[in-house]
Amino acid sequence: MACLLSGATLHAEGGSYNVDDASVVGTGKCQLESWLREWSHGSNGIYAVPACGAGPVEIGVTLNTGHRAFGPGVNPSVKWQLRNGDDKGIGVAIATAATWIRGRQDDAQTYVATTFGIDDARRVMVALNAGADRIGGESTHALYGIGVDFAVTPRWTLLVERLWTHRTITDQGGVRLAFGESSLDLVVGSEKSPHPSHWINVGWNAAF
């Protein structure tokens, strides 16, 4: 759970968003997503997520400085795109990730991600996740997520999401400014859990 709460697991719409989409980087391409997070408790975290593609498979790893007792952490992940829905129809992918914190495996997730457009122009896109989260190698719980992004203009996009995991609901929303193969994010988020908190993220994403 520490990985989910620190924003180091699922990367939807990219950057620090948690709900994953069905897209992959693409053969011979790579990307780097990075962000700075400031928590309401006064701590902060720095995150970097390099990923590269080989056919329908994307391989990545999240590196982060952590939050309070959680971190630093390493989160390798693999996503296999079963159906490409980037331009039309419904995209489908399966993904798995595991988290190591201070050299110890903390949890693992496996889930299905789907993406589809609401309108013909695909200005409104929806991402749905469903899977399982295994905490500390002991207990397994359901994981669900929904994310929506609305392209206000070719450069400006609004994004909102909600992720449900064991005893925790995580909400995030923000705005993205795209320029060329890069984008900037400003995101605010909160969690409802036994230890609630909220945060703000400033991020930069680039493909190459």
Angle at 165 between CA 68 and CA 169, to 5 degrees: 75
Q: What is the Cα–Cα distance from 184 to 206, expressed in whole angstroms?
A: 9
Token pair, residue 187, equals: 């995101």
Can you name the residues that pair with 155 across neighbouring β-strands?
none
Which is it for strands 182-192 and 168-179: parallel, antiparallel or unpaired?
antiparallel
Q: What is the pLDDT of residues 147-161, one digit of tens each?
A: 999 999 999 999 999
Contact predicate 192/169, CB 8 Å: yes
Q: What is the pLDDT of residues 42-67, one digit of tens each?
A: 668 899 999 999 999 999 999 988 65
Query: How much is the mean pLDDT over the chain?
Result: 88
Task: Please give the model's pTM, rounded to 2 decimal places.
Answer: 0.88
> Quick one: fold of 2-207?
Porin (2.40.160)
Q: What is the DSSP string of 137-197?
A: TTEEEEEEEEEEEEESSSSEEEEEEEEEETTEEEEEEEEEEEETTEEEEEEEEEEESSS-E
Structural domain boundaries of the chain? 2-207
What backbone phi and psi angles, to 5 degrees, belong to 50?
-80, 145
Contact predicate 45/70, CB 8 Å: no
Q: What is the Cα–Cα distance from 27 to 20, expressed in whole angstroms?
A: 19
Mind listing the pLDDT tens digit of every residue in the chain (208 residues)? 333 333 334 445 788 999 999 999 999 999 999 999 998 776 688 999 999 999 999 999 999 886 555 667 889 999 999 999 999 999 999 999 998 877 777 788 999 999 999 999 999 999 999 999 987 767 899 999 999 999 999 999 999 999 999 889 999 999 999 999 999 999 999 999 888 999 999 999 999 8
Residue 149, CB half-sphere, CA atoms under 13 Å: how many? 26
